[in-house]
Amino acid sequence: MDQANRRQLVKTGALSAGVLLLAALLVIVNYFGWKYYKRFDWTSSQLYSLSDKTKNVLKGLNKDVDFIVFMSPDQQRDLYQPTNELLQRYGSASRRVHVKFLDLEKNPLEAQSLSQQYGVTTQGVVVASGKDKRVISSADLADIDSTSGEPRITGYKGEQLFTSAILQLSEGRKPKILFTTGHGERSLDDQGGGGLALAQQLLGRDNFDLSEWASLGKSAVPAGTDLLVIAGPTGSFVQPELDAFSAYLNNGGRMLVLLDPTLAPAGAGGGLVKTNLEGWLARYGIKAGQDIVVDPTAILPFFGPETIFIKSYGEHPITKAFAGAGVPVLTSLVRSMAAGNAPGVKVTELMRTSP
Question: Residue 286 phi/psi, 5° resolution?
Answer: -120, 120
Residue 147 and residue 28 in one domain = no
Residue 114 and residue 251 in one domain = no
pLDDT at 109: 84
Q: What secondary structure does DSSP assign to 153-174, as a single string? A: EEEE-HHHHHHHHHHHHHHT-P
pTM of the model: 0.69
Q: pLDDT digit string (tens) for 73-88? A: 877 778 888 899 999 9
Among residues 171, 189, 210, which one ends one of the domains? 171
Q: What secondary structure does DSSP assign to 89-133, as a single string? A: HHHHH-TTEEEEEEETTT-HHHHHHHHHHHT--SSEEEEEETTEE
The residues, ordered by sequence, that sit 6+ positions from 143 with a Cβ below 8 Å of its Cβ are 153, 154, 155, 157, 320, 321, 324
Residue 187 and residue 328 in one domain = yes
- Going by C-alpha positions, the residue among 1, 4, 10, 28 that lies closest to residue 177 is 28
Q: How many CB atoms lie within 10 A of CB 154?
A: 11
Among residues 153, 171, 189, which one ends one of the domains? 171
In contact, 141 and 157? CB cutoff 8 Å: yes
- Is the torsion defined by CA of 345, 346, 349, 354 positive or negative? positive
pLDDT at 13: 38
Beta bridge partners of 307: 332
Beta bridge partners of 272: 263
Residue 159 and residue 18 in one domain = no
Q: What is the domain extent for residue 113?
A: 40-171
Residue 51 and residue 152 in one domain = yes
pLDDT along the chain (355 residues), means of 10: 42 40 50 44 52 90 93 81 92 94 82 83 88 87 72 81 89 86 92 78 70 95 94 94 96 92 74 92 93 86 84 83 78 88 88 85
Which CATH number do you get for residue 131? 3.40.30.10
Residue 124 and residue 216 in one domain = no
Our count of domains for the chain comes to: 2
Residue 156 and residue 104 in one domain = yes
Residue 160 and residue 188 in one domain = no
In contact, 270 and 264? CB cutoff 8 Å: yes
- Is the torsion defined by CA of 65, 81, 143, 49 positive or negative? positive
- Going by C-alpha positions, the residue among 182, 179, 208, 209 that lies closest to residue 196 is 179
Among residues 121, 143, 171, which one ends one of the domains? 171
Residue 302 and residue 272 in one domain = yes
pLDDT at 162: 93
Residue 167 and residue 181 in one domain = no
Residue 62 and residue 178 in one domain = no
